[in-house]
């Protein structure tokens, strides 16, 4: 079950708007992803599998409505998702791995992309692409990126996406660093974070420790 982080179940500072999704299957698959000898193909497969499990947990509060249907036996009022389907926003390029997995579970979801790269010296994000559905203001938004490290890219992406005025925003990642969470919360206290793990810290280059390396490089084989 997903659970909010606090000092009793996690050693880091209390973070009431962070939900740690520690399902055993997610944790097992994440450990396999962390291993340095995991192949590109296996890494990609595991990321897609974890993403489907994350999507299941993150969408628990989607609204339902009763609709009249006919089964082979009789008629009934049955629950279905209410209103417009969610929009999934991938922070390029590594966000594509989570996006693909979530689309397996939610094939009717709309999709948007925001392209950001991190300046290797300043860690400041630079936008190079942005495209979202025209009716995004009528939809709940899930923003996906495997890593929340410094938080700079996520913060910049959410600021840009807030301009489209979606119904709500949730940020979903695979790994988060305490520094990234603190930065994100300082800028976007209204946006909840969902993550499979909160690691120890960042290194001097802004990478998560113990982490899993560069998610994009490992997913696309571009080391």
Q: Which CATH number fits the domain 2-60+84-220, given the four candidates 3.30.56.10, 3.40.50.620, 2.40.100.10, 3.40.50.2020?
A: 3.40.50.2020
Nearest to 88 by CA among 79, 100, 76: 100
Strands 193-198 and 140-144, by their bridges, are unpaired
Does residue 86 carry a pLDDT above 90?
A: yes
Which residue, among 141, 157, 204, 202, has the nearest Cα to 175 in the 3D structure?
A: 202
Q: In this structure, what DSSP letter does residue 72 have?
A: S
Could you tell me where the DSSP H helices lie in 70-208? Answer: 95-105, 152-162, 178-187
Query: What is the predicted pLDDT for the residue at 2?
Result: 63
- Judge whether residue 142 has pLDDT over 70: yes
Q: What is the band of 83 on the pLDDT scale with cuts at 50, 70, 90?
A: confident
Domain ranges of the chain: 2-60+84-220
Distance of CA 36 to the CA centre of its chain: 22
Mean pLDDT (the chain) is 90
pLDDT in tens, 188-219: 999 999 999 999 999 998 899 999 998 888 99
Cα 60 from Cα 197, distance rounded (Å): 19
């Amino acid at each position: 079950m997903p659970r909010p982080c606090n000092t009793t179940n996690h050693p880091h500072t209390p973070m009431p708007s962070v939900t740690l999704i520690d399902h055993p299957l997610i944790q097992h698959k994440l450990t396999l992803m962390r291993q340095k000898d995991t192949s590109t193909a296996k890494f990609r497969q595991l990321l897609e599998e974890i993403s489907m499990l994350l999507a299941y947990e993150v969408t628990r509060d989607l609204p339902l409505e009763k609709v009249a249907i006919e089964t082979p036996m009789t008629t009934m009022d049955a629950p279905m998702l209410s209103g417009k389907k969610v929009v999934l926003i991938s922070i390029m390029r590594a966000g594509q791995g989570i996006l693909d997995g979530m689309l397996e579970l939610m094939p009717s979801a709309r999709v948007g992309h925001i392209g950001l790269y991190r300046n290797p010296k300043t860690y400041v994000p630079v936008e190079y692409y942005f495209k979202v559905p025209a009716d995004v203001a009528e939809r709940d938004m899930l923003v996906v990126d495997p890593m929340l490290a410094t938080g700079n890219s996520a913060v910049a992406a959410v600021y840009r996406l807030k301009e489209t005025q979606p119904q709500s925003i949730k940020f979903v990642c695979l790994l988060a660093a305490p520094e990234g969470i603190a930065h994100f919360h300082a800028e976007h206290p209204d946006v909840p974070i969902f993550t499979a793990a909160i690691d120890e810290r960042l290194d001097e280059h802004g990478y998560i420790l113990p982490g899993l390396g560069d998610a994009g490089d490992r997913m696309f084989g571009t080391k």
